[in-house]
Structure 1
Amino acid sequence: MDGKPQHKERHRQAHRTISVFGRELRMPKSRPLRIAIGVLLIVGGVLGFLPILGFWMVPLGLLVLSYEFASVRRVRRRGAVWWGRRRRP
């Protein structure tokens, strides 16, 4: 061991991946780069009417930002709970 607590190391590793539809996507280690990616995805999604860009980018950008900001994380969790209740028979 290098002296770091194991729980912090696991937290760091979990922080660098995003699970989308059961697939794990690796995120950059740099926090500012992750924030920039999330913001760019949202901006690109707002311009979804243009070719190549799409409205699918907005939720993905929010998902990326939810790993960095608690307020976005709360909105994501509320949306997940709402969706789960809606889909329940």
Structure 2
Amino acid sequence: MTRRERRFQRQFDVLARLIPPLREPMSHLRRDSWFPVRFPLALLLIAGSLLSFLPFLGLWMLPLGLLLLAVDLPVLREPISAAIIRARRRFRRWRRHWRAGRGKP
């Protein structure tokens, strides 16, 4: 396993720790035997994000679809893992700033 693949797998593990209800579904979807489900689901999520003007469908589907697609397409692994890292850093910075503004430690 290359350094890039390990980095990508670590991001999956971090997401599973951050969002515990998704731990079980993500572990199942990452298995190789789930390719027939994972690939069409990823494409449906990406296509659904294009219909973001509808109530339930939205832009939240695009990162999730790309994440699932990156499991099968090695070309997407590095940019997706970098995007996850950037999003986590921005969220931490925003949360720290928000807490400091409210006077909480």
Give TM-score, length-normalised by structure 1. 0.62
Name the structure where helix makes up a greater proportion of residues: 2
Report the Cα offset of residue 36 of structure 1: 0.6
CA distance, structure 1, for counterparts of residue 85 and residue 58 of structure 2: 25
Letter in structure 2 aligned against 1:67 = V
The answer as to 2:65 corresponding to 1:40 is no
The one-character-per-residue Cα deviations of 1:4-45 (angstroms, maximum 9, x if unpaired) are xxxxxxxxxx9xx98552431132733132111001001101
Unaligned runs of 5+ in 2: 1-8, 97-105
The structure with the largest strand share of the pair is 1
Consecutive unaligned residues of structure 1, counting only runs of 5 or more, are 1-13
User: In the superposition, relative to structure 1, how do residues 83 and 61 fare at CA in structure 2: closer, same or farther (>3 Å)?
Assistant: same
Give the equivalent residue in structure 2 for 1:66: 70
Identity within the alignment, %: 34
Paired residues, number: 74
Greater RCO, 1 or 2 (C-alpha within 8 Å, sep 6+): 2
| Misfit runs of 4+, over 3 Å | 17-20, 83-89
